[in-house]
Each structure stands twice: as structure tokens, then as C-alpha cells.
Amino acid sequence: MIKVLREIIVEEIVKGRALDRYATMASRETINAIKDESVREAFNTNGRADFYLDAPEITDDIDYLRGIIIRLREGEHVASDGSYEFDLDASDEERKTSDIYVNITLPSRYDEDYSFMPKLIAELKETFRHELEHSSQSTDELMDVQRAVPDREIWKSLQTAEDYYTSDAEVKAHIAGIYKKAKSFRKPATNVMERVLEIMYNTGLWYKHEPAKLAGLMEKIQSRWANYLFDRYPRAQ
């Protein structure tokens, strides 16, 4: 039994390092694409630009990932978020047609001032690492949270939010992304985690949830995430 557990831990470490590397590569390729003249022209003209990320060194190596789609939108603040899109209850063969979508918000005429790039790079690394973690998870693990809480119903109640953010699939993905971003910023992972929870708290307020009860939920999520953070990354601060 001990040997089996050690093999599982080693496998997780190797998989995690590979996904870390792919997240860095995807971030780099995305930044290069954003600087491309045709993308800049499309964004400056339309306030938006969509494109497939040409990254066969990533998509060819990951079984459950067909492509990466980038969607640029104009906004006041630099930000990114993503989703791993797969067929519900997919077979192993159907999972191979899954895609990662990354949404990026950039200021208008962003090509006139690239001072935002360090922030964007860290945001992209977190987003890609989170979604790549999902690409490595089993369909059963992903479906557990989808059955319990469909994506559009996360903030339907505090209970659905708790079920979603403390599910195995989301805890693993959030912590993988948080740790990647912390390394990029060279900050303690706990600091990055607190910022993510602050944003989550504000989202809950936007959905009109009671502040005191919402604060209690954040404590539960923080406890669950912190336990997993230090189990998976013993050197994390």
C-alpha cells in the first residue's frame, strides 16, 4: 500500500511539473499573439479579437485537450479568466475534443503602452494552470461538481457556492493556479489565495448574499484550500 501511495504521489508531481511548463508556454504564446499586428488591428477596430492559439507542443501532448481559444475584449482593467469545455458524461474518446477558452480584458489601444504586461502574464499563468489542471482530471471528478452545481448556478445560494468551491475538482484547479501565480509574482501563495477569496467575496456581495454569512463561507473555503495547498506544496508560504 505504501508503495502504491508513493507511486501516486510521484505521478502527481511529474504531471504537475508538466502542466506548469505548459501553462508558461501557453502564456508566452498568448502574449506573442496579442502583440501580433493583425490581432492588434482587429482589437483596435472592433474592441475585440478572437483567435485559436497555435500551440501544438501543448495540445498534441495532452490527451484531453483539442485546442485553446483566446477571446480579447476591451475593458477598464486587465484581467483573465477561463473555462475547460468538455462534453458532459463524455467517454475517453469524446474528452479528446475538449477545449480551453481564455477570456482576456485589455484597455483600448493597448498596443500604445505595454506596461500592463507583467500583471497580464501572471494572470494568464494562473488561468492556464487552473484550466490545464481540469484537462488532467477524470470525467467522473469533473462530473461530480457539474451534477451538483452547474456552472451558471454557482451563486444561486451560499450552499451551492460552497459545494462548488470546495469540490475536489475546483480545489485542485484553484490551488494549482494560485501557486503558479504566486511563483510568478514571487509572493507567498497564501497572499495570492487571500486576494482570490476577496474577489470571490465581492462576487457573493454582487449576488446579494448576506455579508456575515458570506464571510463565514470564505472561512470554510479558505480552510479547505489551505489544507490542500500545504499538502500538495509543502514548501508553500
DSSP 171: H
In a domain, 191, yes or no: yes
Q: What grid cell was written down for 203?
A: 462576487
103 and 148 housed in the same domain: no
Strands lying side by side in the sheet with 67-74: 48-52, 67-74, 99-106, 79-85
Is residue 27 one of the residues assigned to a domain?
yes
Q: Average pLDDT, whole number, for the chain?
A: 92
pLDDT tens figures, 57-103:
999 999 999 999 999 999 989 999 999 999 988 999 999 999 999 99
Please indicate whether residue 15 or residue 13 has the higher confidence score (pLDDT).
Answer: 15
Least confident interval from 18-32, 46-60, 142-156: 142-156
Q: What's the predicted TM-score (pTM) here?
A: 0.91
For residue 17, give its domain range.
Answer: 1-115
Total number of domains constituting the chain: 2
From residue 202, how far is each of 83, 95, 151, 210 by CA, in Å? 20, 34, 18, 11
- Is residue 2's pLDDT more than 70? no
The predicted model gives 207-230 an average pLDDT of: 97
pLDDT in tens, 173-201: 999 999 999 999 889 999 999 999 999 99
Mean pLDDT of 133-152: 92
| 109 lies in the same domain as 150 | no
The answer to whether residue 127 sits within a structural domain is no
111 near 105, Cβ under 8 Å?
A: no
